[in-house]
């Protein structure tokens, strides 16, 4: 049963399985194990980033295609949910319609970019996606009438997902293990459940024959073509699928934050975070997304605070304190990124998992 749910692609390492199980349990029970606004928020972000990074893994780890437009698809999903909720009024139909429109739009965009760039040279794709994604980010901040510009958009969720909505008053007296049963809890489980489903879909995709062909293309494109697979078709299909999943993740992110803005959904920093998570977690494994996202977001939240304390402890040695200030977090991540590409190209998961 578990085998079937995981598409017969088990972690294949006891340590890794334990780790994944811990993360799963932690996320599934987050509101009860770690009550508190900030921890639950971190848990929800982890769920969403797992999906986002897993969908990127489908492209980068399995297909060997470097794209810098993944945040663009993420943003498309987020913005379409926000816009439909604003214009159609609060309601589940608006959310579902927004997510669907976002997914379709992201797929079309991905197909268009893929069609005119992947057929020439794979390396064009990386450059063109970077250019297109930056152009879209600029457009979003310029057309502020529609998108709210730099300030972004705040929108309302259906009443059932708001903190004011209470349920289970008669049955559980409104609380379970001291946790209030309200709309926020429902939203968390909506995010968690959808993320889990999307993650399993991604796992299924890469373990289907489709994923095998992608791996073949990554390893030797020429040979894959010679065997008779239409390489370009597979690459475009991979791009579209990962774009659709990323836009669903974006929709979830918008629902969780009840806000969309260019810096949270479209920025290049976010793209770099995705790359970091994937490389540190392990490319081409899907499980790498889980480990990487959890580790990255936890350290981002708690290590930055630690760095802040460290700098105030050191005092004011000119360069050292500038290097260690929490704002320079990206510097250390960048160095870690380069080192991990050189020394652990398979990431944490690849380290644990000794493939035949």
The residue ranges that bind other proteins (CB under 8 A) are: 60, 64, 66, 116-117, 119-124, 126-128, 130-132, 134-135, 138-139, 142-143, 268, 272, 275, 279, 319, 322-323, 327-328, 330-331, 333-335, 337-338, 341-342, 345
For residue 173, give the 3-state DSSP assignment.
coil
For residue 259, give the 3-state DSSP assignment.
strand
CA–CA distances in Å: residue 263 to residues 97, 106, 151, 271, 317 = 24, 19, 9, 11, 32
Phi first, then psi, for residue 353 (nearest 5°) are: -95, 110
Shortest CB 68 distance to other proteins, Å:
8
Shortest CB 267 distance to other proteins, Å:
11
User: Which lies closer to other proteins via its Cβ, residue 124 or residue 302?
Assistant: 124
Long-range contacts of 113-119 (CB under 8 A, 24+ apart): 113/69, 113/239, 114/235, 114/236, 114/239, 114/240, 115/236, 118/65, 118/232, 118/235, 118/236, 118/239, 119/232
Shortest CB 60 distance to other proteins, Å:
8
Shortest CB 183 distance to other proteins, Å:
39
For residue 166, give the 3-state DSSP assignment.
strand
User: Which lies closer to other proteins via its Cβ, residue 85 or residue 129?
Assistant: 129
The separation between the first and the last C-alpha atoms of the chain, rounded to the nearest angstrom, is 25
User: Which lies closer to other proteins via its Cβ, residue 119 or residue 351?
Assistant: 119
Shortest CB 121 distance to other proteins, Å:
8
User: Which lies closer to other proteins via its Cβ, residue 171 or residue 319?
Assistant: 319
User: Which lies closer to other proteins via its Cβ, residue 126 or residue 176?
Assistant: 126
User: Which lies closer to other proteins via its Cβ, residue 10 or residue 134?
Assistant: 134
Q: Where are the alpha helices (DSSP H) in 208-325?
A: 209-219, 221-227, 231-257, 262-265, 268-281, 287-314, 318-324
Shortest CB 48 distance to other proteins, Å:
23
């Amino acid at each position: 049963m578990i085998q079937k749910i995981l598409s017969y692609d088990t972690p294949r390492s006891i340590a890794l399985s334990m780790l994944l199980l811990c993360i799963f349990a932690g996320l599934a029970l987050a509101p009860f194990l770690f009550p508190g606004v900030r921890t639950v928020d971190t848990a929800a972000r982890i769920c969403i980033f797992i999906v986002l990074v897993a969908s990127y893994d489908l492209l980068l780890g399995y297909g060997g295609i470097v794209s810098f437009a993944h945040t663009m698809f993420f943003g498309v999903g987020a913005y379409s949910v926000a816009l439909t909720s604003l214009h159609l009024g609060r309601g589940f139909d608006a959310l579902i319609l927004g997510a669907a429109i976002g997914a379709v739009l992201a797929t079309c965009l991905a197909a268009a970019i893929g069609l005119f760039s992947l057929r020439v040279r794979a390396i064009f794709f990386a450059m063109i996606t970077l250019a297109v994604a930056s152009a879209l980010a600029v457009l979003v901040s310029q057309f502020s009438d529609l998108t709210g510009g730099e300030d972004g958009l705040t929108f309302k969720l259906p009443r059932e997902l708001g903190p004011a909505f209470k349920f289970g008053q008669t049955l559980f007296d409104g609380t379970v293990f001291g946790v209030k049963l309200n709309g926020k809890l429902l939203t968390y489980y909506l995010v968690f459940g959808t993320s889990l489903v999307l993650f399993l879909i991604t796992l299924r995709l890469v373990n289907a024959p489709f994923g095998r062909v992608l791996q073949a293309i990554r390893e030797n494109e020429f040979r894959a073509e010679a065997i008779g697979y239409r390489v370009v078709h597979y690459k475009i299909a991979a791009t579209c699928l990962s774009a659709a999943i990323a836009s669903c993740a974006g929709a979830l992110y918008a629902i969780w934050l009840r806000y969309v803005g260019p810096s949270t959904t479209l920025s290049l920093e976010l793209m770099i975070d995705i790359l970091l998570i994937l490389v540190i977690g392990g490319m081409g494994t899907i499980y790498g997304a889980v480990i990487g996202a959890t580790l990255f977001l936890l350290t981002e939240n708690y290590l930055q605070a630690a760095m802040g304390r460290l700098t105030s402890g050191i005092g004011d040695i000119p360069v050292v304190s500038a290097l260690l200030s929490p704002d320079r977090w990206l510097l250390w991540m960048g160095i870690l990124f380069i080192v991990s590409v050189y020394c652990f190209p398979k990431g944490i998961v690849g380290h644990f998992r000794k493939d035949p």
